[in-house]
């Protein structure tokens, strides 16, 4: 806060319990903000000014909402999680904030969307010959092409997923945990 702000609001003194003096501190802040409408006001900065004028009746959030109510549609409050609110006068917003069009934001996003549209249209234009290719696959068709080792591995994976979902350990997870605990002792199992 500069000396200009203090001089502009020097009409207020300390605030104890009367609402008249509380209003003086709030009015002093409003005068300072009206004198400098062309900047972005930080809610923490405004609250510090409020405390320097000697008043502690309002907390930062209620002070911000009171100022917003006073100025009405002339002021905008910008909120973001973890960041103090910012107040700015809407008339000066185009000069204070640089707005970027979505189309200018990133050419890569536009290119990805364009390529995705081409791929979707190309896939939709393909005629499916249902006599040559199976569009429905069942377990019998898969078991013809899959070896026994892969089938047992898939069975173990399915068992692990079921165990995770039901929060129960499987025999494979227990054996794997024991093996990882003793990495020097390795056991191998073979199909002979």
- The fraction of the chain above a pLDDT of 90, given in percent, is 9
pLDDT tens digits, 96-126: 877 665 555 566 677 778 888 888 888 888 8
Q: What is the distance between the alpha carbons of residues 31 and 23, in angstroms, rounded to a whole number?
A: 12
pTM exceeds 0.85, yes or no: no
Q: What is the distance between the alpha carbons of residues 47 and 41, in angstroms, rounded to a whole number?
A: 10
Q: Is 67's pLDDT higher than 90? A: yes
pLDDT at residue 123 in the model: 82
CATH of domain 3-96: 1.10.10
CA 64 to each of CA 9, 14, 21, 70, 153: distance values in angstroms, whole numbers, following the listed order: 18, 20, 18, 10, 62
Kindly list the domain boundaries of the chain, sorted by start residue: 3-96, 138-183
Model confidence at 133, pLDDT cuts 50, 70, 90, reads low
């Amino acid at each position: 806060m500069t000396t200009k702000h203090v001089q502009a609001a020097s009409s207020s003194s300390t605030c104890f319990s009367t609402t008249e003096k509380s209003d003086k501190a709030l009015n002093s802040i409003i005068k300072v903000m009206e004198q400098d409408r062309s900047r972005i006001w930080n809610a923490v900065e405004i609250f510090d000014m409020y405390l320097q004028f000697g008043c502690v009746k309002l907390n930062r959030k209620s002070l911000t909402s009171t100022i917003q109510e006073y100025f009405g549609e002339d002021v905008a409050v910008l909120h973001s999680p973890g960041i103090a609110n910012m107040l700015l006068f809407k008339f000066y917003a185009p000069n204070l904030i640089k707005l970027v069009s979505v189309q200018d934001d990133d050419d890569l996003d536009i290119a990805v969307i364009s390529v995705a549209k081409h791929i979707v249209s190309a896939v939709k234009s393909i005629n499916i010959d249902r006599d040559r290719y199976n569009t429905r696959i069942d377990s019998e068709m898969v078991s013809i092409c899959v070896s026994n080792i892969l089938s047992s591995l898939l069975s173990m994976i399915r068992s692990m997923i079921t165990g995770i979902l039901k929060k129960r350990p499987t025999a494979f997870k227990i054996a794997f945990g024991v093996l990882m605990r003793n990495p020097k002792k390795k056991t191998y199992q073979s199909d002979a």
